[in-house]
Chains A and B, each alone.
Chain A
Amino acid sequence: MVAEPRTLLSHEEYFALERESEEKHEYVAGQIFAMVGGSPTHSEISANLIIALGPQLRQRGCKVYTSDLRVTIAHLDIYTYPDVTVVCGERQLDPRGGGLLNPTVVIEVLSPATERYDRGKKFMRYQRLSSLREYVLIAQDYPCIERFARLEDGRWSWEFADDLSASIALPSIACSLSLAEVYAEVAFDEASDKSLGQI
């Protein structure tokens, strides 16, 4: 049996890779994972999110970032790139590699390849960011926004909105996401039914 060689990368090696590589990578305690590009729908929704949040956050000491922004989860030695990140107040940057240490809200647009990760392990990892107040998941094959919010006792609440006339409030940044705006001009693929094989 041939053992799989697994070389762990140092931070320096990872940052060098990120500078030179065309694609982005997530770094988890020495291991790196290529972050694949999203579908056009994924990108449209991400752009709509920036458009929806930008004006609401202007002149309020908050900033919204695209997936170019690296976020550092220092406790777990992780570097990753959320689809959309919002930070309110003073930005704290990781002195080693420039990743943001204190996002207030993280938004992920769900893709088939990463949905399980975003809902499970990744959510648990993001929870280690003590600054994080809300974690938002956006479906891309039907209109639906889910919001997890940190409660005072440290637990997380869950709610969702799936009506195009509805909107979902993000109190931690005093914003509201209207589904009509998030899904504006987004064409859903009729064939991609998420249910079990239809007969």
Chain B
Amino acid sequence: MAAELRTLLSHKEYFALERTTGQRHEYVAGRVFAMVGGSPTHGLITVNASTTLNMQLRAKPCLVYSSDVRIAIQQSDSYMYPDTSVICGEPQFDGRNGSVLNPIAIVEVLSPSTAEYDQGQKFMRYQQIASLREYVLIAQDKLFIQCFSRDERGLWVWSAAEGLESSLALPSIECALSLADVYNKVVFGKVSE
């Protein structure tokens, strides 16, 4: 049996890898994970969600970023690429490499291979970002959006919406995600329990 080589990468090596491979990787305290591409449905939902957020935030000093933008989480020495992130006010960058430090909202469209990770360990990491107020998880195999919102007391509050006529409020950015918008033109495959 071949042993798995586990070499820890420095930040410098990680950024060099990002530049030279042209592929995105997540970095967690020296460990590096290749990011796989999403399904067409994943791509459609991501654009739908970003579009509705961008429209609602057009007149506000908030930016909606795609998954090209890397987020730095200094508390856990991590770099991640959320599907969509929202920054209100001036974006702050991690000096050396242009990663964003202060998202207020992060949206992840769940894929079968990463759903548990997005909902579990990844959220544990994201919630260390002091500026983060909303963490939104969108299912791609059914009409279902969950959101964790941090309230004034620092308490994370869970909410969810299902059904085409419902919508989910994102209080910190005064937006609402209507499921009709998020799932516009999405065709679901075989329904699985």
Contact = CB atoms under 8 A, between A and B. Distances in A.
A1 interface: no
Given A196-B33, A197-B34, A157 B120 contact: no
Contacts of A39: none
Interface residues of B, number: 33
Given A120-B139, A196-B35, A198-B33, A155 B159 contact: yes
Contacts of B120: 110, 115, 139, 144, 194
Contacts, number: 78
A172 B148 CA distance: 22
A195 B28 contact: yes
A15 interface: no
A144 B124 contact: yes
Interface string B90-116: 000000000000000000001001111
A160 interface: yes
Contacts of B31: 195, 198
Interface string A155-199: 111111010000000000000000000000000000000111111
Interface residues of A, number: 28
Nearest to B34: A199
A153 to B, nearest CB: 9
Interface in A28-64: 33
B114 A196 contact: yes
B121 A33 contact: no
Interface stretch (B41-49, B63-71, B150-158, B172-180): B150-158
A124 B157 contact: no
B156 A157 contact: yes
A155 to B, nearest CB: 5
A159 B110 CA distance: 21
Contact of B25 (A112, A155, A158, A199): A199
Given A196-B33, A199-B32, 9 more contacts: A33-B193, A119-B146, A120-B139, A148-B158, A155-B157, A157-B157, A158-B157, A159-B155, A194-B121
16 contacts: A110-B120, A116-B116, A116-B119, A124-B162, A139-B120, A144-B121, A157-B155, A157-B158, A158-B157, A194-B117, A194-B120, A195-B26, A195-B28, A197-B34, A199-B25, A199-B32
Interface of A: 33, 110, 112, 115-117, 119-121, 124, 139, 142, 144, 148, 151, 155-160, 162, 194-199
